[in-house]
Chain A
Amino acid sequence: MAWLHTWAGLVTGWVMFCVFVTGTATYYRSDISLWMRPEVRAAAVEPGVAAERGAAYLKVHAPKAVAWFVSLPQEERPLLDVYWFDSFDTPIKQATLDAGTGQLSTARATQGGDFLYRFHFELQMMPLVGRWIVGASALILLVALVSGIVTHRRIFSDFFTFRRDKSAQRGWLDAHNVTGVLALPFHLMITYTGIVTLAFTLMPWGIASAYRGDELRLFVESGQSPAWRAAAGRPAEGLPLAPLVARAQGEVSEPLEMVIVNNPGDAAATVVAVFEEPKGLAHRHPQVVFDATSGDVITRLGTLKPAAHVFTSFLGLHEAHFAGPALRVLFFLCGVMGSATIATGLVLWAVARAPKAGAAPGFGLRLVRGLNLGTILGLPIGIAAFFLANRLLPVELDARATWEGGVFFGAWGVAALVSLARPHARTWREMGMAAALLFLAVPVVGALTTDRGLDFLGFDAAMVAIGLLLAWGARKVSRYRGPARARAAVPDALARA
């Protein structure tokens, strides 16, 4: 089983490191988004008023759409996002509006925290390809975790063992064990629930057999989405949204999250009021569905049957929407430990196979060393460059949001090329310092280019903390002189000589 753990861990380690780091950052997705749109300030807008502003924009710009989605401004996202489908065969379209005016937002174009969130499960590839790569890697990681536990007959005593000074390999092994075992329940939970979020992509065969592939019907029958009402083909004026929204709010105490209009302008149009998840684990949204022209309630969605409840609870556990500030910090730290477990495991593989003094490392070892360095330090460099690009790229630049992503991949690519060209200990130190400086530069550049004062103190503190951690790590690597026993042996030998 040790063999299985080693190799399953190695082949998925690089992808899973990226997934863990960006997933950990995603616990603070809305904070990152707020920081990346410094022009936007929270403004209190009545949900009903905001819904009508969004619908007014869509009436002009997407009159023939089959469905409108108006995502209402929230405290953590003070913008009005509208989405629409021109037909079911075309991709969804999107516009970001100013919640106060209902006009296109003038804030800088950016994907904000959503960039890291989507990277977390799609790697910014074609969605299906990215999801399969992440899903398959997660499945192999789950195998690595289970076989890692089987490997550990002494899991309890190993946990209290840290032999940093015995040898380089022992030190890395113990670091891998401590970070792995300390947060083991989290690692197992987050890997399994992460697979569940991609379940119907990875394992569509239940829907294929029981529903003949009709995924939508599954969600209707399990009470997660209302049945689709076909258009009547006759135009009809829909009722104003604000009173419908107010009636829905009278029934559900959660904040209103989204208003959907299906078949807008048609006699059979429906209006769906979607609310935030109630307290608890399950990721399920109460919904009230109205007939858009008569105002009658067609259906209400709320409670789920047991298996669907378990399924959505796994999604909720993964996304941790239920977590307050303290629990969120704990989730974040567990995510950091998961990233560290993977990183130390990757380094351990290379350290354990280091050639004898004087012998040249083989191609495989050089490749793993280069990929380790290019991933473990390349990704943080990319993220820091992404934040800096948000502040430094001109606000009026064409395709600005895409350029931010371009800077992320560009900086990471350069770091990876350097790593593959010279995968040495010295490069670890230099790139570690470079990453540290980039993170430390983020608050400075932010203060120089925006006038938000101390509004982003938490974000800036996090950047400084990450920068200092990287600098400390780089210093550690440069100060390392080999195992303590070997070091102590040298003066002894000299004294005897």
Chain B
Amino acid sequence: MPDEAALRTADPGWRLRAAVAGRVALAAFGGYGVAALATAFLSLVLPMARSEAVATATLLSFAILVGAVIWVFSARTLARAALGLAVPGGLLALGLWLALTLVETVPAA
């Protein structure tokens, strides 16, 4: 997080406050969104039994979430942080859409 010194001053100013609020919102919703997309996508495409894929993807999801949050707070600017989530998020959404149309998810007997 840049501007750590500025945050320590008595009144950081609205611009900085907004930037911090933006990062928090991006980390919470963006980070969760990427992790959720990755879980849904990997549960469908991992080359193992369906129950195994769900277990693996769900276990991985929390590492992905923490990694995404750390990324949002370490990126140099808010725009860069957002871009860093949007690109993998977009690819995952595309992959999930393809997987949902191609992979058979009708409950097995």
Supposing A214-B107, A222-B51 touch, asked if A206 and B70 sit within 8 A by C-beta, the answer is no
B56, A146: Cβ atoms closer than 8 Å: no
Residue of B51, B62, B69, B73 most packed against chain A (CB within 10 A): B51
Q: Does B49 interact with chain A (Cβ within 8 Å)?
A: yes
Answer whether residue B81 sits at the interface, using C-beta atoms and an 8 A cutoff.
no
- Spell out A's residues near B (CB within 8 Å): 1-4, 139, 142-143, 146-147, 150, 192, 195-196, 199-200, 202-203, 205-212, 214, 217-218, 221-222, 305-308, 310-311, 314
A205 touches B70 (CB 8 A): no
Say yes or no: A196 contacts B59, CB within 8 Å. Answer: yes
Question: Which residues on the B side are within 8 Å of A206 (C-beta)?
Answer: 39-40, 42-43, 53-54, 57-58, 61
Interface residues on B, range: 35 or more
- With contacts A211-B50, A211-B54, A214-B107 known, is A143 near B70, CB below 8 A? yes
Chain A residues in 8 Å Cβ range of B44: 209-210
- Chain B hits for A306, CB < 8 A: 52
Q: Is the CB of B1 within 8 A of A205?
A: no
A-B contact pairs, 27 of them (CB 8 A): A1-B1, A2-B4, A4-B70, A139-B66, A143-B66, A143-B69, A143-B70, A146-B66, A192-B62, A199-B58, A203-B36, A203-B58, A203-B61, A203-B62, A205-B43, A206-B42, A206-B61, A209-B39, A211-B105, A211-B107, A221-B49, A221-B108, A222-B55, A305-B48, A305-B52, A308-B51, A311-B59
Q: Are B107 and A4 in contact (CB under 8 A)?
A: no
Answer whether residue B35 sits at the interface, using C-beta atoms and an 8 A cutoff: yes
* Bitwise interface map of B from 65 to 84 toward A, beta carbon under 8 Å scored 1, else 0: 11001100110000000000
Which B91-109 residues have a C-beta within 8 angstroms of A? Answer: 96, 99-100, 105, 107-108
> Are B49 and A205 in contact (CB-based, < 8 A)?
no
| B7 within 8 Å of A (CB atoms) | yes
In the bound complex, do residue B61 and residue A217 qualify as a contact, i.e. CB atoms below 8 Å apart?
no
Please pick, from B35, B40, B55, the residue contacting A311 in the complex, using a CB distance under 8 A: B55
